[in-house]
Amino acid sequence: MTDALVLITRLADGAPSDSAAELLGAAALLGEPVAVVPVAASADAPSTDAPPAAPDSLAAALGALGAARVLLVAVDGLGAVATTPEVAALAAAVAAGTESGTAPAVVLLAHTAEGREIAGRLAVRLGAPIAYDAVGAAREGDRTVVRHSVLGGDYAVDSSIASARDGEPVAGPLIVTIRPGAVGERAAAVDARLEHLAASGGALHGARIEAVHPAAATGRPALRGAKVVVAGGRGLGKEGFGVAERLADRLGGAVGASRAAVDAGYVEGAAQVGQTGTTVAPDLYIALGISGAIQHRAGMQTAKTIVAINTDRDAPIFDVADFGLVGDALEIVPQLIAELDARGR
Ligand code: FAD
């Protein structure tokens, strides 16, 4: 079985970030999951990165998520230079695999702003093909087939790489960014083998990170990757937007919004869902007072279950909703919360 490398980024406390389970689950569909964890090469370098991980606990945590091997790659500039250290770490992992005769078939990253940039830079550095914003992946024979959701989610498109272009073999591996929340499969827990590697250093070019300011804690899950998202639109009005927040809190979900709601100042820009906001694929997406413009649907249409509440029975959001209620969200949502309370759910 060929290796499927996964870039593991870490939270402020050093633990694997939320995307790790999904990426390793996707990797297990394609080969042997190998977690690549960049770590700072020199402890005295100024860095905003997570604290040095305790290797054994990191290996245990990633093994529980299905990583057969955990590759700690020491790299210069981590947390001090944006994205190029991660590119260097992945390039070193690919090179090490190729030299030892186990060239990886794929490299998987989360389709986040950071993941997209790392993927693009890595593709250029390796001269390797890239499949962007995947919602699924499978191995068919010796080919990796990647699924994309396009044109606002109306079509699913499968892509794979040709083995040759202009008579020349296409360099691998295939680099794939996975849309957070889109892949439901999870890998079985294993005892991960811990390995160490050093990325050859040198000056790393890239934007220098002066400081990191974490967003104020809300106690809610992050929008990207949340299992439940309650999103509000212009129809709620500024005073009414709180019903979306109350329902989100009642369901333990994240708060999302249409661009119109963001532009009107009901909620901060980070909550925007859609073409120019965050793309989400939760188990449950509740749209309150959102018309369902194509730019909004592009960011939520792959949610597993969509519930819409809108006063306009012809609103396009109902075209993609599994359950629709025609009515005033400001009246319905408080009743819904009261009913949940009454049922003790
Ligand atoms: P409206 O379209 O004004 O809809 C409000 C809805 O609320 C209506 O359907 C109305 O019937 C309903 N309503 C009113 N009162 C109530 C009530 N009391 N209870 C229930 N329902 C009620 N939009 C995004 O969301 N995300 C994006 O990323 C995005 N990117 C864009 C990129 C480009 C290049 C462009 C041109 C546009 C983009 N837009 C995006 C904007 C998009 O086209 C729409 O304008 C926007 O999504 C509309 O937001 P809305 O549904 O909240 O508002």
Give the DSSP letter string of 5-39: EEE--B-TTSSBPTTHHHHHHHHHTTSEEEEEEEE
DSSP class of residue 267?
A: S
Q: Which residues contact 343 (CB under 8 A, 6 or more apart)?
A: none
The structure's pTM equals 0.76
C-alpha–C-alpha distance, residues 79 and 45, integer Å: 9
52 alpha carbon to ligand 1 midpoint, in Å?
A: 44
C-alpha–C-alpha distance, residues 119 and 132, integer Å: 9
* Mutation test residue for ligand 1: of 243, 272, 275, the one with most atoms within 8 Å of CB: 275
Q: Kindly state the percentage of the chain with pLDDT values over 70.
A: 94
335 alpha carbon to ligand 1 midpoint, in Å?
A: 24
C-alpha–C-alpha distance, residues 324 and 305, integer Å: 11
Which pLDDT value is given to residue 55? 84
260 alpha carbon to ligand 1 midpoint, in Å?
A: 5
280 alpha carbon to ligand 1 midpoint, in Å?
A: 17
Q: Under a CB-based contact definition with an 8 Å cutoff, are residues 227 and 248 in contact?
A: no
C-alpha–C-alpha distance, residues 222 and 227, integer Å: 10
- pLDDT tens for 185-206 read 999 999 999 999 999 766 678 8
265: left (phi over 0), alpha (psi -120 to 50) or beta: left
The per-residue pLDDT of the chain, averaged, comes to: 90
Query: Average pLDDT for residues 201-215, to the nearest whole number?
Result: 76
Pairing of strands 305-310, 284-288: parallel
Q: Is the CB of 152 under 6 A from ligand 1?
A: no
Q: Ligand 1: which atom is nearest the Cα of residue 275?
A: 28
Q: Ligand 1: which atom is nearest the Cα of residue 233?
A: 52
**Strand ranges for 41-129 from DSSP E:** 69-75, 106-110
Measured by CA distance, the residue closest to atom 9 of ligand 1 is: 291
* Mutation test residue for ligand 1: of 273, 279, 280, 295, the one with most atoms within 8 Å of CB: 295
**Beta-carbon count within 10 A of 285 CB:** 28
C-alpha–C-alpha distance, residues 201 and 339, integer Å: 59
C-alpha–C-alpha distance, residues 44 and 340, integer Å: 53
**Beta-carbon count within 10 A of 215 CB:** 8
The answer to whether residue 168 scores a pLDDT higher than 70 is yes
- pLDDT tens for 223-264 read 988 999 999 999 999 999 999 999 999 999 999 999 999 999
147 alpha carbon to ligand 1 midpoint, in Å?
A: 28
Enter the tokens of residue 74. 């020491």
